[in-house]
Homo-oligomer: A and B are copies of this chain.
Amino acid sequence: MLNKVVIFGVGLIGGSFARSLRKAGAVREIVGVGRSATSMARAKELGIIDAIGVSGAAADGALPLADALHGADLVLLAAPVAQTEAILASIAPHLQAGTVVTDAGSTKSDVVASARRALGSKVAQFVPGHPIAGRETNGPDAAIDNLYVGKKVVLTALAENSETDVERVAAAWRACDAIIHRLTPEEHDKVFAAVSHLPHLLAYALVDDIARKPHADLLFQYAASGFRDFTRIAGSSPEMWRDISLANQPALLAELDAYMAQLTVLRAQLAANDGAGLEQVYSNAQHARHQWITAIEAAETPPSPDKAD
């Protein structure tokens, strides 16, 4: 049981963490901190948080940061990643020895660098994390108590972290029914550059490419369900993905270069009418994707009692 949890940013990610912990009976008190007084008031009205904390001067019954953090077992940063360093710097002077801090950012190497700058030797109390959960809606009203059920949460522990502190973060996410994975920050960023950040960049690039053509209206008229699925991620927040692209720049550049090299090979095969070469790439992709989907579906489907033996 956590006595007190402080959440910076009570939107879909932070608010759902709060609701899930509460549903599991895993927390006594939740304090929310955010830049928008309206959002915080709404989060309290919805019962997601018990009290509101503020950076800077306290007002209207909101707690100063020192009081908000006093006696906290766990602090979750779930505000936009661009605010991470400033939030950590505001926390640093008030951070007590018994408090563990974690985050929910989509990139990790840059967050670790920010944490080292902002927290100094207290970085040992910071356990970086990344819950892999959808982000198409936001705000306190989007928060639900089952967002993390069966979802992966990647923790990228630092050499300075104690196993007790890492376990406190892991246990909180497990109380939300999430599944804990552990990677280094560098592994994390390489993996997500390949399977998430690059696809976003590619989808944005394609839609922008088409939208800028003089006959864009004609093109969009004939775009069908395949195009719709391929470009769904280009409907995501441009600001958030700008920040993620820049935050994970080295790994994303490496993945983009590998992909452009692959396109150069495919272009040469196409130009040479090399059907066998194209088919090899297409077949390998179809086969790999089929195996992946089969593995996902097997993991999602509990074994049927009829078939068990």
> Are B238 and A286 closer than 8 Å at their CB atoms?
yes
CB neighbors of B among A245-264 (8 A): 245-246, 249, 252-253, 256-260, 262-264
- Copy tally for this chain in the complex stands at 2
> Are B288 and A207 closer than 8 Å at their CB atoms?
yes
Interface presence of A279 (CB below 8 A): yes
> Are B270 and A253 closer than 8 Å at their CB atoms?
yes
Interface presence of A233 (CB below 8 A): yes
Distance A199 CA – B299 CA, assembled complex (angstroms): 29
Identify the stretch in A26-34, A64-72, A188-196 within 8 Å (CB) of chain B at 4 or more residues.
A188-196
Interface presence of A213 (CB below 8 A): yes
Q: In the complex, which of the residues B210, B257, B270 contacts A252, with contact meaning CB atoms closer than 8 Å?
A: B270
List B contacts of A253 (CB < 8 A). 267, 270-271
Q: How large is the interface on A (under 10, 10 to 19, 20 to 34, 35 or more residues)?
A: 35 or more
> Are A201 and B283 closer than 8 Å at their CB atoms?
no
Interface presence of A60 (CB below 8 A): no
Interface residues, chain A, with chain B CB atoms under 8 Å away: 132, 134, 152, 154, 181, 187, 191-192, 194-196, 198-213, 216, 218-220, 222-239, 241-243, 245-246, 249, 252-253, 256-260, 262-264, 266-267, 270-271, 273, 275, 278-279, 281-286, 288-290, 292-293, 295-296
Smallest CB-CB A-B distances: 8 pairs: A211-B288, A238-B282, A207-B285, A238-B283, A195-B223, A208-B285, A204-B285, A242-B279
